[in-house]
Amino acid sequence: MEHRSSEHKGEAMDFETFRARAEDVVAHHAVVVSNPYTTWFAKGEANRDEVRHLTVQFSVFSHLFVEAQLRKVINAADRDGYRAGKEILLNELGVTFAGGTVDGGTFRFGAAHFEWLLKFAEPLGLSFTDLGKRRHGTASTLFFCDELVRIYGSEDASVAEGASYAVEHWAAAGFWKELIAGLEAFKARECPGLALGFWTFHDALEDQHAAHTEDELREAFETDGFDEARFLRGASEILDGVHAFWRGLDDDRRTVAG
């Protein structure tokens, strides 16, 4: 009885402990601690071929992400999660937000994120058939895409929640700004026609996302069947996938340069 009541009293502390551990997993992961590729890219020294290579690999990740997001919607644990997943999925496909939601928003072909990327890629001499297909992905890019489907789109709600949490915190940690800095330098130097909408939109969206997940973390924690260990494993494993993606780009850059 004594043990039981002390366990009960400890519930609030448990959430704080869990939250601290989740924050730790993200904050200390290698890809968050240092990302040599985006650090280098931000300096603005990438040449045309390097910008093209980034564009193609990013297009594969960003296009195949739609598959993972659809799985996330299908595997959602409840209707709120299902709707939250659809907000991201449908915006990705071209439904504009109307007051922060796609509900009542308008679909436009040109508002699909992939179409923004097509527009961005045009002055680089890349067209529809050069972008966004599995066949264009390197082994490390495809590893990341497959991990997204497996972990972010997992049937196990604890694993999927962990992956969402990690991906959103990683994405808010500043890599968009590093890419934008490098792209602006490249644009000013040799490619004035470059339209950066795809990149600036995502950068602006991220702060909103991260704020979201603090509430979601508590909701997830309080859901029946929630498993802390599986959440943390999902978070850590998806970041390994993210890390593989950037390390792949970094290896390619060094190989080409050398």
**Based on CB atoms, which residue is closest to Fe ion, 86 or 113?**
113
Residue least distant from Fe ion (Cβ): 113
28: exposed, middle or buried (Cβ count in 10 Å: 0-12, 13-18, 19+): exposed
- Do 102 and 91 touch, CB atoms closer than 8 A? yes
CB-based contact 186:194 (threshold 8 Å)? yes
Stretch that binds Fe ion, among 76-84, 97-105, 110-118, 144-152 (CB under 5 A): 110-118
Structure tokens at 201: 């939109």
Write phi, then psi, for 154 (nearest 5 degrees).
Answer: -60, 150
Minimum Å distance from CB 239 to Fe ion?
19
Give whichever of 92 and 156 is closer to Fe ion, judged by the CB atom: 92
In the bound state with Fe ion, the residue whose beta carbon lies nearer, of 72 and 113, is 113
For the four alpha carbons of 129, 135, 139 and 143, in that order, the dihedral sign comes to positive
Query: What is the C-alpha to C-alpha distance for residues 187 and 17, in angstroms, rounded to an integer?
Result: 46
Return the number of the residue (113 or 253) whose C-beta is nearest Fe ion.
113
Instruction: For residue 118, give both structure tokens.
Output: 């097509």
CB 121 within 8 A of CB 48: no
Q: Which is nearer to Fe ion, 113 or 233 (CB)?
A: 113
Q: Smallest gap, in angstroms, from Cβ of residue 209 to Fe ion?
A: 11
Instruction: Work out how close the CB of 24 gets to Fe ion at its nearest, in angstroms, rounded to a whole number.
Output: 28
Instruction: Give burial (CB, 10 Å; 0-12/13-18/19+) of 136.
Output: middle
Please identify which residue in 72, 113, 169, 243 interacts with Fe ion, judged by CB under 5 A. 113
Q: How far is the CB of 145 from Fe ion (least distance, A)?
A: 14
Contact between residue 172 and residue 208 where contact means Cβ atoms under 8 Å apart: no
If the CB atoms of residues 143 and 201 are measured against Fe ion, the closer one turns out to be 201
Residues 194-223 that bind Fe ion (CB under 5 A): none
Give the total of residues touching Fe ion (CB under 5 A).
Answer: 1
Q: Does 72 bind Fe ion (CB under 5 A)?
A: no
Stretch that binds Fe ion, among 23-31, 113-121, 135-143, 234-242 (CB under 5 A): 113-121
Residue ranges in contact with Fe ion by CB under 5 A:
113
